[in-house]
Amino acid sequence: MSRAGVDRALVYSTRTLSDAREGNQVLLEATGNFTRLVPQFVCNPATDRLDDFATEVSDRQVCSIRMFPAHHSYPFRDWAVESWLEWLASERLPLWIGADEFDPSALHDTLKHRPDVTVVLCEVHYIHAPWATLLLKSLPNLYVELSCVVGSGGIATLLETIGEERVLYGSRFPDSPMAPQLYNLHRSELSEASLRAICSGNLDRLLSQGG
């Protein structure tokens, strides 16, 4: 982080892919008192009890949630996640979800009538670009992070589509290094204000919106 010039990072445990509850505990043990690491919990609506999970989130002052519908074998549709989305909306907690983790139509239909749920679309690669761009246009409550946005013009296209307020820097570390996307951003002819928003300001705003 220091070598890449990153002061703080939002992190979750990959152990949650197999066991969300165990992975969240591993995350808490790993982050400890490191204030530069901001923990993000993973929930599994198929197996977790919402009341227990909500209590843990509140007690630990966790500010964001991540879901893995494909890995945890449930659909991102109301009949599976409705109560969880209602809770997220009530607590104003943003939700992160990977581009390979859902059916685009299911996510669109589920979020279209839930403008009070903020969702960050993660790991958007060029193969996702056609439907991801349409999805971002359709859902004003959908943000995107840049960890897998590569190639000429990708960042410029996103900014033209949804504006800088809904774009977040992301690295996908440790699978990818932190520095290359930062290098790319700082050479994309963006203003200092735009760089601050994308690299930190937009995320800070999302994490601070909870009560």
Distances (CA, A) of 49 to 16, 28, 55, 119, 150: 15, 19, 10, 21, 38
HSE toward the beta carbon, residue 90, CA cutoff 13 A: 8
The domain covering 9-207 belongs, at the CATH homologous superfamily level, to Metal-dependent hydrolases (3.20.20.140)
Query: Which is nearest to 195 in space by CA: 175, 176, 167?
Result: 167
pLDDT of residue 48: 97
Residue 115 contacts residue 144 (beta carbons within 8 Å): no
Question: Residue 95 — φ and ψ, nearest 5°?
Answer: -115, 130
Q: Tell me, what's the pLDDT at 154?
A: 81
Cα-trace Rg, the chain = 16
Sign of CA dihedral 75, 60, 29, 201: positive
Task: Give me the pLDDT at residue 152, please.
Answer: 62
pLDDT in tens, the chain (211 residues): 999 999 999 999 999 999 999 999 999 999 988 999 999 999 999 999 999 999 999 999 999 999 999 999 999 999 999 999 999 999 999 999 999 999 999 999 999 999 999 999 999 998 998 999 999 999 999 999 999 887 667 888 889 989 999 999 999 999 999 999 999 899 888 999 999 999 999 999 999 986 5
Q: What is the pLDDT of residue 157?
A: 86
Structure tokens at 142: 């959908």
